[in-house]
């Protein structure tokens, strides 16, 4: 089926805008002080109309055919246009789904380069390029005008006074990531005014920023803030897409997060976070769009040039490759799609002040038709780009496509979420068998995955919890997920939680269970912050927030997912403990070395960088590593070990970490170390109170409480 259709008649206009040829660059709508240049990519279109609307985006005022076509870019210049102009596109071309073309000029389209959106998406059958219910399904052609139901783009003025731009990005070795949701963090915060809750302005609230900064974290990572839309099936249930992994415009902030209706609100938020000494990282979704599969709506790229923007099945281009699991996959192998994504990243980094990005399902971004390739054009582009090569790049190194699990497979310059750390640490503290050998690797930045090609320990982004899954408190409070509120009969969300309720499912009044759960949360937090690599803390875990056992709150835009700030005594205690852990990490460089700890003896310096000890205070043997019942060991970090590539002794403190996941006390003999006189206990998760925890002599037998962690500092002979 290949037909050229005509949309409904053009609106009556009282004044026809002047238009000139303009330029094919930059893409998008660009105001130069005199007028606005419009440029949009489409390799297969036959005509492109620019549609102008009133300020609310409700009434179409005029349609202007873009007069020029240069190197697959349609462009024109309106000398009378100015910031605030609201617009969309209608794109003409063949409607032939079997050949991959889905042009339908009856559908108003969002500019992929739109910097701001006006209005909300209203789901209506007119949004679809085909006629719903037609016998030919998506091969049919729908003539209804979708303009009343589609958000429109707005021309913006990029001017913003940043003040003194002396902000210096934080080195990786001093980075502690704090993952949060722009809405969830402020919706229930008592110091944030009601009208600002859930917005960018809410996050810059002084009280909220003080809390984040007081933790000692360095970088705030925000779940998706690009403009996104809700899915109809969620709306039918009275739910919504809370997380925002359903992007439709990669340059525009989500309209609902702008309390002022002005994109400068985002820049002001960034300025306030920078002033507080905090980086801003964005979780970005470039692997797919909200248009879904062949049965989805025509909102933007599908109607602009479907066969260029999306990866289609090679033997039948009617259908989409679905490596994202959401219906479609962007074709990052196409040069103009690659340009769009890198342009978006540069825009957020340079114009909006962002310090780095976490890439959702990043394996897709490095996949060609024959699989993942670390030399993919996108990964190479990021590494060589003068702007992107200087910001933090963090991959979620998996997706549901072929060869989708790529932890450790990304090229130098990239950091990666390390789910091996999450799973192994949870399993160890749950008391699972045979966890010690792998745990040793996780404590030392997973060198088995990342110690190659000059990559550094920071490449391993360690986490116990993230937005997807149980919170820390729920990890120690539930054996099973409880997602009934999602309306999918508890079938959604992962069943692989590696959690343990410690004897009661959910909340309990049993004091013994409550105390053990608190100690287990302290154990996992201490393991996170005392491990080499880059730690990531999920917002709210610092005081033990709960999602009531829901491990998939993507659709819960309510107090199930929002962070509550009414803290009880337990919460305050855990909060103070978390602050102490991060303060210790900052105070002791040995906990965040720039070189991998490998346990080899340095003949020249006469030290090992890391030594693994049995409870008897002796070095672990090969057979002891393979004892599946072993659940207690010591990890000694020698501060004299060579810290950089220069052959010289280090001057860091020497630390001893002892971990015990046995269900009983283990007596641990504190080892003797040259040039030392004893050990000072810095942290005992069984005694979380602040203050001195005592000095202990070499050879002392320390009774390590069941399921607990200890950190000691070597006391030097001359310290007395």
Q: Which two tokens stand for residue 277?
A: 């000494």
- 438 annotated active-site: no
The pairing of beta strand 415-418 with beta strand 392-395: parallel
Q: How far apart are CA 182 and CA 195, in angstroms?
A: 14
Distance CA 52, CA 154 (A): 10
Contact 146, 190 (CB under 8 A): no
Task: Choose, from 396, 638, 684, 713, the residue flagged as catalytic.
Answer: 396
Picking from 509, 529, 536, the residue whose alpha carbon sits closest to that of residue 577 is: 529
Write out the two tokens for 466. 């993230």
Please enumerate in sequence order all residues whose Cβ is within 8 A of that of 425, keeping only pairs 6 or more positions apart, or say none.
Answer: 439, 442, 464, 524, 527, 528
CB distance 136 to 95 below 8 Å:
no
- If one counts every other C-beta atom within 10 angstroms of the C-beta of residue 371, the result is 13
Helices and strands (H and E) in the chain: how many: 14, 33
Is residue 521 within 8 Å of 452, Cβ to Cβ?
Answer: no
The residue from 265, 291, 360, 638 that is catalytic is: 360
Q: How far apart are CA 94 and CA 160, in angstroms?
A: 42
3-state percent helix, strand, coil for the chain, nearest multiple of 5: 25, 20, 55
Within 10 Å of residue 484's Cβ, how many Cβ atoms?
12
Cα–Cα dist 378/253, whole Å: 23
What does the buried/exposed string (b/e) look like for 22-48 if buried means 16 or more CB atoms within 10 Å of the residue's CB? bbbeebbbbbeeebbbbbbbbebbebb
Q: Catalytic site residue 495? A: no
Eight-class DSSP state of 115 = S
Q: Any idea how long the chain is?
A: 720
With CA atoms as reference, report the closest residue to 131 among 148, 149, 110, 107.
Answer: 107
- DSSP letter for each residue of 686-719: TS--SS---EE-TT-EEEEPSSEEEEEEEEEGGG
Task: State the CB neighbour count (10 A cutoff) for residue 648.
Answer: 11
Candidates 401, 392, 391, 390; CA nearest to 365 is 401
**C-alpha count within 13 angstroms, C-beta hemisphere, residue 104:** 30
Q: Which helix (H) or strand (E) holds 637?
A: strand 632-637
Strand partners of residue 53: 60, 86
Question: Is the distance from CB of 704 to CB of 668 less than 8 angstroms?
Answer: yes
User: Where do the H-state alpha helices sit in 246-287?
Assistant: 264-275
For every residue of 424-448, DSSP letters joined together read HHHHHHHT-TT-HHHHHHHHBT-HH
CA distance 115 to 226: 10
**CA-to-CA distance for 620 and 13, rounded, in angstroms?**
83
Q: Looking up tokens 């969830």, which residue turns up?
A: 184
Do residues 230 and 164 make contact, with C-beta atoms less than 8 angstroms apart? no
**Could you tell me if 38 and 75 are in contact, meaning their C-beta atoms sit under 8 angstroms apart?**
yes
Q: Which residue has the tokens 């060869």?
A: 403
- Count other Cβ atoms within 10 Å, centred on residue 491: 9
Residues 19 and 68: their CA atoms lie apart, in Å, by 11
Nearest CA to 532 out of 466, 431, 605, 609 is that of 609
- Residues designated catalytic: 360, 396
């Amino acid at each position: 089926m290949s037909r050229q259709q005509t949309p409904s008649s053009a609106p009556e206009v009282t004044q026809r805008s002047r238009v000139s040829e303009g330029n094919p660059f930059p893409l998008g709508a660009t105001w130069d002080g005199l007028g606005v240049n419009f440029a949009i990519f489409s390799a297969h279109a036959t005509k492109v109309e620019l549609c102008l609307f009133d300020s609310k985006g409700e009434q179409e005022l005029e349609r202007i055919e873009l007069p020029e076509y240069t190197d697959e870019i349609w462009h024109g210049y309106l000398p009378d246009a100015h910031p605030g102009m609201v617009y969309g596109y209608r794109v003409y071309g063949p409607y032939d789904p079997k050949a991959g073309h889905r042009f339908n000029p009856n559908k108003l389209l969002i500019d992929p380069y739109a910097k701001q959106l006006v209005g909300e998406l209203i789901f209506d059958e007119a949004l679809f390029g085909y006629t719903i219910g037609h016998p030919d399904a998506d091969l049919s052609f729908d003539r209804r005008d979708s303009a009343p139901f589609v958000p429109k783009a707005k021309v913006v003025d990029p001017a913003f006074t940043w003040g003194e731009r002396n902000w210096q990005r934080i080195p990786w070795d001093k980075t502690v990531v704090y993952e949060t949701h722009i809405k969830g963090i402020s919706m229930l915060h008592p110091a944030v005014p009601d009208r600002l809750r859930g917005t960018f302005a809410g996050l810059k609230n002084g009280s909220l920023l003080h809390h984040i900064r007081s933790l000692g974290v360095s970088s705030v990572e925000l779940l998706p803030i690009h403009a996104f839309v809700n899915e109809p099936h969620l709306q039918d249930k009275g739910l919504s897409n809370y997380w925002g992994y359903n992007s439709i415009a990669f340059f525009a902030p989500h309209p609902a997060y702008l309390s002022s209706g002005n994109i400068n609100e985002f820049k002001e938020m960034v300025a306030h976070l920078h002033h507080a000494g905090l980086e801003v990282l964005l979780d970005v979704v470039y692997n797919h769009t909200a248009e879904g599969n062949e049965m989805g709506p025509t909102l933007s790229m599908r109607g602009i040039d479907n066969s260029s923007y999306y990866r289609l099945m090679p033997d039948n281009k009617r259908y989409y490759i679905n490596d994202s699991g959401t219906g479609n996959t962007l074709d990052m192998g196409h040069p103009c799609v690659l340009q769009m994504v890198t342009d978006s990243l540069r825009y957020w980094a340079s114009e909006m002040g962002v310090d780095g990005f976490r890439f959702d399902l990043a394996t897709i971004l490095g996949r060609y038709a024959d699989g993942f390739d670390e030399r993919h054009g996108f990964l190479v582009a990021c590494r060589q780009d003068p702007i992107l090569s200087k910001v933090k790049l963090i991959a979620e190194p998996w997706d549901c496509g072929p060869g989708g699990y790529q932890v450790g497979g990304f090229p130098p310059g990239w950091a990666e979420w390390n789910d091996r750390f999450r799973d192994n640490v949870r399993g160890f503290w749950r008391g699972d068998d045979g966890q010690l050998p792998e745990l040793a690797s996780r404590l030392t930045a997973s060198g088995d995955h990342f110690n190659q090609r000059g990559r550094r320990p920071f490449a391993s982004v360690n986490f116990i919890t993230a937005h997807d899954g149980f919170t820390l408190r729920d990890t120690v409070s539930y054996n099973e997920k409880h997602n009934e509120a999602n309306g999918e009969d508890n079938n959604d969300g992962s069943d692989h939680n590696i959690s343990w309720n410690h004897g009661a499912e959910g909340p309990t009044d049993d004091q013994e269970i409550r105390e053990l759960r608190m100690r287990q949360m302290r154990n996992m937090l201490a393991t996170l912050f005392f491990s080499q690599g880059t730690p990531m803390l999920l917002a709210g875990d610092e005081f033990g927030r709960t999602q009531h056992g829901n491990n998939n709150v993507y659709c819960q835009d309510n107090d199930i997912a929002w962070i509550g700030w009414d803290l009880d005594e337990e919460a305050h205690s855990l909060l103070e403990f978390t602050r102490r852990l991060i303060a210790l990490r900052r105070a002791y460089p040995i906990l965040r070395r720039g070189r991998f700890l490998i346990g080899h003896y340095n003949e020249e310096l006469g030290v090992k960088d890391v030594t693994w000890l049995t409870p008897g205070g002796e070095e672990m043997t090969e057979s002891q590593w393979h004892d599946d019942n072993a659940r207690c060991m010591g990890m000694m970090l020698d501060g004299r070990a060579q810290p950089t590539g220069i052959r010289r002794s280090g001057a860091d403190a020497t630390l001893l970490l002892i971990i015990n996941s046995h269900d009983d006390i283990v007596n641990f003999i504190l080892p003797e170390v040259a040039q030392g006189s004893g050990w000072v206990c810095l942290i005992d998760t069984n005694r979380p109170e602040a203050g001195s925890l005592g000095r202990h002599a070499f050879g002392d037998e320390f009774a390590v409480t069941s399921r607990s962690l200890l950190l000691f500092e070597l006391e030097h002979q001359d310290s007395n």
